């Protein structure tokens, strides 16, 4: 048995109201307000007018490397991978004129074998126009303006098909043309659920001993607050679980609690899809066929997160929730060993389940190479049901709807299924440990916002030369002392300060710059600086870095080094790598004073090294003395004709 961190969700925590006795326990509350589920009734022209299916661009079927990546086991439940979309793909689209005389651009995009597709939009700027995705029945969108975050970069909702139609209807005052005002650089290919179980005949990826929460009526409210989330990160799609968290005053701000190892970046938070009713319709009913039935929520913002040694929590602000959902209560107390508890979760990415167990003495656990300290976790031994990867971040309840923790880790075996492991113990981050990091939001005390003087910064980086820093002013309308935090949401964004204080009379400033060493290839990099102040809604500075190069950067690698002689012959491998994104031609290769330039095409297969490419040659060399040998490579760049030279050394022994 080994401990792995499960993907999960975090809930917002509570605290006392100003001037009142601190609240240590909060009961759940049902949201009966307007339905804020962001569902639009506007259909794309192709469905309104029953237009013929447009021309399709099909990606190749998944390759071996992609299939292997899907099968990799990690601390998160992977359910899909990202696939690049060639720049020429959008040329497949074509303009049509509808029966009303309005222009519309349409195309189809296929990823063979996918159970669903999400589209990553870049440089999205359609103004008053609208963009949809659909499969003929289920629709994502419409998306307008500069996208859902106003910076031209976002992930669409998922359309559950291996082929989706994209439709763009320009604004009435816009002129139609060949080019569309957005880019599609990648899709998320959703993998089908696991195949049929040979023993049970089930296609459910979860293990056999899980329990349907609909069979336990007293847990109906807790079911409503618990949801599955999917999100995009590091080239993959993952799923976790989590729950809505109530504030002390029942403000019904849509705070969602999950595990820190699930959502720990603004980029991942913005890609969230929340599935509220991925569950059976009733006890004993057939498993649900669709995740999105009953409403979904797209996107969010990361407010706070804690690492494993801090309790493994994350708090996300969602844009909306459906009417009728329940916001969880919470408990800051420390229930005694033996307390009956329950967890509601989505094991292995499957539909909603419930597990029952009891608290046992907590022990410090090794999760991967990190320690989960006993002081910040609760250990649960399951008597009925289990937890699996995909359950991560799900709530631990001491009573229906009252949260005491978030699922962080549990047992995983290479030979036993989850239901065969006994005893089965899972670790939950204590809500009380997470509380210190999220109490500003849970207490919902009055807070003053901090506004930046600029909301969009653009940097241009040429040949890895660091651009100058930009100074952004920070201000508030409050006459009192306001503390703030700044978070760079990408490693290439550098801030002069991470926190500070200001008032209306004493504004502040931050210098923001871009680090070229963190951007290895030419292209456009987009991220944000998040401004947090108390329980105020976060504010953002959109940061874009355009990385360009007009000269190549070729490096030489020689292995092994040192190279040992076998009967006076040494075998080495020479690897030339271009790192700047500029193609070049190799013209000269010398080892000491010996010129081997004529052998370049034979040894490397070509004398041309493409932008961002690499060439490798395996050489057998005899007749060279022991000691240091010096390899010289020269070339000329295709774009400018600039000549360059590199040297490397190898120790012959």
- Please state the pTM of the whole predicted model: 0.88
347: nearest Cα among 522, 228, 482: 228
CATH class of 72-190: mainly beta
pLDDT surpasses 90 at 445: no
403 pairs with which residues across the strands?
330, 397
* The pLDDT of residue 41: 57
Centroid of chain to Cα 388: 20
Confirm whether 451-548 and 554-652 share one CATH topology: yes
d(CA 457, CA 109): 33
HEC profile for 384-436?
ECCCCCCCCCCEEEEECCEEEEEEEEEEECCCCCHHHCCCCEEEEEEHHHHHH
* The pLDDT of residue 101: 86
d(CA 45, CA 161): 19
Read off the pLDDT band of 470 (50, 70, 90). Answer: very high
d(CA 576, CA 498): 40
pLDDT tens digits, one per residue of 400-438: 999 999 999 998 888 899 999 999 999 999 999 999 999
Domain ranges of the chain: 2-29+210-441, 72-190, 451-548, 554-652
pLDDT tens digits, one per residue of 298-307: 999 999 999 9
pLDDT tens digits, one per residue of 611-647: 889 999 999 988 888 999 999 999 999 989 999 999 9
Structure-block tokens of residue 312: 């493994």
User: Between 3.30.70, 2.60.40, 3.90.226, 1.10.3470, what CATH number should domain 554-652 receive?
Assistant: 2.60.40
The beta strand positions in 414-535, using DSSP E, are 425-430, 451-452, 456-462, 470-475, 482-488, 493-495, 499-502, 508-514, 523-532
Read off the pLDDT band of 194 (50, 70, 90). Answer: low
What is the SS3 assignment for 29?
strand
The rounded mean pLDDT for the chain is: 91
pLDDT tens digits, one per residue of 331-375: 998 899 999 999 999 999 999 999 999 999 999 999 988 999 999
d(CA 236, CA 382): 31
646 φ/ψ angles, rounded to the nearest 5 degrees: -135, 150
The CATH-assigned architecture of domain 2-29+210-441 is: Beta Barrel (2.40)
* The pLDDT of residue 7: 31
pLDDT surpasses 90 at 42: no
d(CA 279, CA 285): 10
pLDDT surpasses 80 at 18: no
d(CA 591, CA 622): 12
What is the SS3 assignment for 376?
helix
Average of per-residue pLDDT across 297-324: 96
Is there a contact between 467 and 490 (Cβ–Cβ < 8 Å)? Answer: no
Which residues are within 8 A (CB) of 93 and not within 5 positions of it... i.e. 6 or more apart?
54, 55, 105, 106, 107, 166, 168, 180
Read off the pLDDT band of 472 (50, 70, 90). Answer: very high
* The pLDDT of residue 11: 27
Average of per-residue pLDDT across 450-472: 95
Read off the pLDDT band of 36 (50, 70, 90). Answer: low
d(CA 540, CA 561): 49
Which residues are within 8 A (CB) of 598 and not within 5 positions of it... i.e. 6 or more apart?
none
Cα–Cα distance list, 413 to 39, 104, 291, 421 (Å): 41, 53, 28, 8
User: Between 3.40.50.10860, 2.60.40.10, 3.30.930.10, 3.40.50.300, what CATH number should domain 451-548 receive?
Assistant: 2.60.40.10
Structure-block tokens of residue 208: 């056999």
Is there a contact between 207 and 373 (Cβ–Cβ < 8 Å)? Answer: no
Read off the pLDDT band of 37 (50, 70, 90). Answer: low
* The pLDDT of residue 50: 85
d(CA 208, CA 101): 56
The pairing of strands 402-412 and 329-331 is parallel
pLDDT surpasses 80 at 151: yes
d(CA 458, CA 474): 18
d(CA 129, CA 137): 21
Is there a contact between 424 and 386 (Cβ–Cβ < 8 Å)? Answer: yes
């Amino acid at each position: 048995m080994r401990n792995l961190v499960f993907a999960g969700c975090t809930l917002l925590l509570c605290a006392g109201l100003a001037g009142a006795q601190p609240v240590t326990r909060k009961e759940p509350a049902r949201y009966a307000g307007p339905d804020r589920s962001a569902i639009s009734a506007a259909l794309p022209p192709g469905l309104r007018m029953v237009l013929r299916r447009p021309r399709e661009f099909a990606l190749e079927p998944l390759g071996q490397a992609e299939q292997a990546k899907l099968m990799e086991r990690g601390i998160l439940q992977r359910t899909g991978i990202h696939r690049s979309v060639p720049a020429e793909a959008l040329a497949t689209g074509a303009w049509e004129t509808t029966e009303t005389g309005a222009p519309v651009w349409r195309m189809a995009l296929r990823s063979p074998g996918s159970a669903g597709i999400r589209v990553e939009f870049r440089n999205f700027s359609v103004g008053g126009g609208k963009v949809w995705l659909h499969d003929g029945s289920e629709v994502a969108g419409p998306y307008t303006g500069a996208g859902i975050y106003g910076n031209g970069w976002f992930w669409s909702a998922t359309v559950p098909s291996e082929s989706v139609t994209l439709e763009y209807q320009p604004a009435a005052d816009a002129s139609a043309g060949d080019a569309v005002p957005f880019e599609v650089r990648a899709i998320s290919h959703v993998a089908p659920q696991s195949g049929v179980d040979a023993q049970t005949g089930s296609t459910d990826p979860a293990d056999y001993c899980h329990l349907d929460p609909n069979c336990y009526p007293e847990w109906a409210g807790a079911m409503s607050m618990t949801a599955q989330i999917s999100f995009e990160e590091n080239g993959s799609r993952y799923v976790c679980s989590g729950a809505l968290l109530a504030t002390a005053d029942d403000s019904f701000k849509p705070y969602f609690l999950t595990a820190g190892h699930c959502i720990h970046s603004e980029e991942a938070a913005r890609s969230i899809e929340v599935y509220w009713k991925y569950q059976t319709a009733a006890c004993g009913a057939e498993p649900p066929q669709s995740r999105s039935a009953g409403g979904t929520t797209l996107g969010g913002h990361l407010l706070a997160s804690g690492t494993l040694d801090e309790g493994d929590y994350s708090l996300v602000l969602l844009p909306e929730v459906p009417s009728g959902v329940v916001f969880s209560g919470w408990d800051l107390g420390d229930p005694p060993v033996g307390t009956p508890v329950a967890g509601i979760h989505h094991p292995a990415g499957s539909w909603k389940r419930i597990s029952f167990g009891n608290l046992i003495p907590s022990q410090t656990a090794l999760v991967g190479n990190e320690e989960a300290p006993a002081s910040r976790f609760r250990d649960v031994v399951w008597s009925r049901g289990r937890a699996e990867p995909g359950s991560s971040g799900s709530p631990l309840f001491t009573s229906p709807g009252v949260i005491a923790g978030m699922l962080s880790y549990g047992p995983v075996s290479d030979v036993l299924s989850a239901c065969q492991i006994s005893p089965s113990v899972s670790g939950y981050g204590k809500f009380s440990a997470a509380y210190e990091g999220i109490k500003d939001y849970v207490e919902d005390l009055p807070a003053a916002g901090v506004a930046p003087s600029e909301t969009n910064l653009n940097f241009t980086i040429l040949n890895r030369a660091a651009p100058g820093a930009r100074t952004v002013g920070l201000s508030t309308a409050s006459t009192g002392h306001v503390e703030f935090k700044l978070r760079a949401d990408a490693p290439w964004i550098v801030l002069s300060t991470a926190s500070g204080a200001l008032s209306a009379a004493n504004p502040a400033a931050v210098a923001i710059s871009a680090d070229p060493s963190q951007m290895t290839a030419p292209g456009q990099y987009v991220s944000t600086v998040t401004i947090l102040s108390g329980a105020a809604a976060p504010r953002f500075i959109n940061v874009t870095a355009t990385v360009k190069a007009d000269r190549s950067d070729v490096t030489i690698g020689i292995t092994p080094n040192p190279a040992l002689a076998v009967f006076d012959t040494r075998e080495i491998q020479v690897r030339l790598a271009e790192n700047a994104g500029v193609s070049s031609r190799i013209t000269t290769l010398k080892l000491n004073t010996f010129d081997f330039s004529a052998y370049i095409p034979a040894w490397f297969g070509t004398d041309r090294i493409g932008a961002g490419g690499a060439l490798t040659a395996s050489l057998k060399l005899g007749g060279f003395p022991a000691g240091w040998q010096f390899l010289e490579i020269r070339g000329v760049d295709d774009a400018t004709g600039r000549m360059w030279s590199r040297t490397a050394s190898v120790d012959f022994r």
